[in-house]
Structure 1
Amino acid sequence: MVVPGLSPRRTDPPSPTPNATRTASPPPTTVPPVKPSRTPAPPPAPFDARYQVLHMFQGGFIAEVLIRNTSRGDLGWVARVEYPGGRVVTAWLEGVPQGTFTGRDGTLTYRSGPKLAAGSSVYLRFHIESAGARPASCSVSGRACHRTSGPR
């Protein structure tokens, strides 16, 4: 039976109209990768440092670091020499006013007294016991020491 004014139900999906705009889903949210900010390390101070053992004896040795200021200005400096398991007995500068040093857990840290004049050099000498003659590290104001020949 057909009732006037009513039409049968449609069961197929409606076909798209040519002018219909499709609502696109928003693009996926992407976060650009974050590059770690790399602050460049400051350049090492303008020093040339040369390490060598001067004298070896039973249980210890005397070594030195020749420190040369290669800049055009007078500069203070800090030397650090590490001997894991060793013992720093003493440290001194040859022929110039002394700075200050600490020797803890086999690490010698020496801070210059007066600034080292441009183009000048100074010898930092030290007595170490209960350690090998080759330090684990040696640097002067951030610049690694070069190793020179053995005991004289």
Structure 2
Amino acid sequence: MFKEFKTFIARGNVLDLAVAVIIGAAFGKIVTSLTEDVIMPVIGKIFGGLDFSGYFLRMGPVPANYAGSLSDYAALKKAGVPLLGYGAFITQAANFVIVAFIIFMIVRAVNRLIPKPKAEVAVPIEPADVTLLREIRDELKARPRV
């Protein structure tokens, strides 16, 4: 069983996948930071100081011992209040669009760099009966006429 596992792990595609997952996770953190720390504040500034992460709907009662602000999404969530955080969803949707666009640009650039293999022109294979008839014709032409 261990030998099988070792063979499975040693395959190139498994190692490539592992590297891709690690790089993807790091890339995801960069994009999350770009979205939350750069893009969303600019969008918020353009639309009059809006902070998308603070947009939510309270879906249940606030505990009686809660002493924080009723507009603090993180504190309400920590207190166990059921919330519909559509602002956080907007931020995550923006993350997805940015990641998808960047991956599209990378794939597009790689496709332009890698030369496309030229398709070999396949010579159609002649059926055996046609080849035989051709040989008979050529043999008849080569015979002297009487």
Measured against the shorter chain, the TM-score band is under 0.3
Q: Decide which structure has greater helix share.
A: 2
Normalised TM-score (structure 2): 0.20
- Hey, which of these two has a bigger chunk of strand by percent? 1
Larger Rg: 1
